[in-house]
Amino acid sequence: MTTEQISGVNLTTKANVYFDGKCVSHSFTLADGTKKSVGVVLAAELSFGTTAAEIMECVGGSCEYRLQGSEVWSKSEPGEKFQIPANSKFDIRVAETYHYICHYA
């Protein structure tokens, strides 16, 4: 099931812009203190590093991703999620805009 709306949040209005605008997100905090971000990745192939563990939820478009240490590319489409361990890296490639929610674990 794809998340369509998140209510009762404290939103940071300044965007997080990465890779010359190919990835743009906004951070927000839920009433219970849980931190998340929501954003888009435009057509590109990018590499990200993580500090905290992350769960990427696709809410529109699609992407292919490859976790650190793997040779395999996997696909993520609307309603699907993939997990990235803390203190690791992952590659993402997007043919058309990928819309996501990042849940920090």
Taking only the tens place, the pLDDT of each residue in 44-86 is: 999 999 999 999 999 999 999 999 999 999 999 999 999 999 9
Tell me how many degrees the CA angle 101-88-40 measures, rounded to the nearest 5. 25
**Is 9 among the domain residues?**
no
- Give the model's pLDDT for residue 54: 97
Domain count, the chain: 1
Q: Residue 7 falls within a domain, yes or no?
A: no
Residue 10 is assigned to a structural domain of this protein: no
Residue 38 lies in a domain: yes
Residue 85 Cα distances to 4, 53, 72, angstroms: 25, 5, 16
Q: Kindly state whether residue 60 falls inside one of the protein's structural domains.
A: yes
CATH number at residue 34: 2.60.120.10
- Full residue range of the structural domain in which residue 84 is found: 15-104
Q: Read off the amino acid at residue 1.
A: M
- Please report whether residue 30 resides in a domain: yes
Domain assignment present for residue 1? The answer is: no
Rounded to two decimals, what is the model's pTM? Answer: 0.92
Helix (H/G/I), strand (E/B), else coil: 32:
coil
Q: Give the residue from 23, 25, 45 showing the smallest Cα distance to 36.
A: 25
pLDDT at 4: 85
pLDDT of residue 3: 85
Residue 8, domain member (yes or no): no
